[in-house]
């Protein structure tokens, strides 16, 4: 199996551990990731608030780079926002022919062109659909027994573009967690919004939404995430949220590939667990015993 790999800006910075653990896990599974040298930002949520065309051109540029390589493989994207932006290009192209010309006129500036056809897929989709539990089980050598993990999907990995899982009642992470030997913590918040998009601009709302999530996760050992924004929102603001909610809401929040890596026995260093903001002592203890 082979994928183009789009790490995106966050995974080079705040979410570097997501990046590295993803690569490590993929390597362990024998999956080849093809990184594009010249990739640029997908525009995040900034472009669409400013210019509609720019918001498709920026991700399209990356797809064009991949298209230039002339290989028949999908784009694997760990970051939900980047995934959404890249996938949006093809969704929009399908219903708007005029847009295709406009995009290509802009890309022409860099002598690039994109006609559509490369599937942009979220890391979670690839793990759940292509890799599957059988392949994972085969790699597990340190079962995460006794761990109760709350699967957190966030918004943009699921919405508006579904396909690989139910965007309202997602389940695809559950068999994966079980395949790692852990237990799924039953909760109904897996697809709810954490408010990450508002953390910098409308903090009070983000704190409220994050608070609801962390409250619901009480009882789990750990939250598993698949998006750098969700991760940061859930792990970095726990103190503030606890203060606002008046209760201790601290909990470990780990990326799904990190959890997989642990179960594969890849070692903390490779998975950069030391970089996680919320990796509680109790979880560490459980994992080490």
CA distance 218 to 56: 39
Q: Is 203 or 286 the residue whose CB approaches another protein more closely?
A: 203
Shortest reach from residue 61's CB to another protein, in Å: 7
77: left (phi over 0), alpha (psi -120 to 50) or beta: beta
Contact between 201 and 130 (Cβ < 8 Å)? no
> Tell me, what DSSP letter sits at residue 75?
E
* Strand ranges for 172-251 from DSSP E: 183-184, 222-225
**CA distances in angstroms from 63 to 16, 36, 96, 114, 176, listed in the order given:** 22, 10, 17, 7, 29
Q: Is 48 or 74 the residue whose CB approaches another protein more closely?
A: 48
* Residues in contact with another protein by the rule CB under 8 A: 9-10, 12-14, 16, 39-41, 43-55, 57-58, 61, 102, 105-110, 155-156, 159-160, 162, 166-169, 186-188, 192-193, 195-198, 200-206, 208-209, 236-237, 274-275, 277
Contact between 157 and 227 (Cβ < 8 Å)? yes
Collect all residues with Cβ–Cβ distance below 8 Å to 206 and sequence separation of at least 6: 194, 195, 196, 197, 198, 199, 233, 237
CA distance 151 to 246: 24
Q: Is 75 or 263 the residue whose CB approaches another protein more closely?
A: 75
């Amino acid at each position: 199996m082979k994928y183009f790999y789009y790490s995106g800006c966050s995974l080079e910075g705040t979410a570097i551990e997501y990046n590295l653990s993803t690569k490590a896990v993929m390597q362990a599974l024998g999956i080849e990731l093809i990184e594009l040298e010249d990739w640029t930002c997908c525009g995040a949520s900034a472009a669409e608030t400013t210019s509609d065309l720019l918001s498709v051109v920026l991700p399209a540029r990356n797809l064009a780079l991949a298209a230039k390589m002339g290989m028949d493989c999908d784009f694997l994207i760990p970051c939900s926002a980047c995934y959404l932006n890249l996938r949006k290009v093809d969704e929009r192209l399908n219903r708007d022919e005029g847009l295709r010309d406009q995009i290509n006129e802009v890309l022409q500036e860099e002598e690039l062109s994109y006609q559509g056809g490369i599937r942009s897929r979220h890391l979670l989709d690839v793990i759940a659909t292509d890799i599957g539990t059988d392949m994972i089980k085969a790699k597990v050598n340190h079962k995460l027994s006794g761990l109760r993990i709350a699967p957190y999907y966030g918004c943009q990995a699921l919405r508006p573009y579904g396909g690989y899982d139910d965007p309202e009642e997602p389940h695809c992470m559950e068999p994966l967690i079980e395949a790692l030997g852990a237990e799924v913590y039953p909760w109904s918040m897996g697809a709810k919004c954490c408010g990450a998009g508002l953390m910098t601009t409308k903090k009070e709302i983000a704190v409220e939404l994050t608070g609801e999530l962390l409250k619901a996760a009480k009882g789990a050992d750990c939250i598993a995430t698949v998006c750098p924004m969700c991760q940061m929102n859930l792990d970095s603001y726990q103190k503030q949220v606890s203060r606002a909610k008046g209760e201790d809401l601290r909990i470990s929040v780990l990326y799904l590939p990190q959890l997989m890596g642990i179960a594969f026995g890849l070692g903390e260093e490779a998975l950069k667990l030391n970089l996680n903001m919320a990796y509680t002592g109790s979880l560490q203890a459980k994992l080490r015993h």
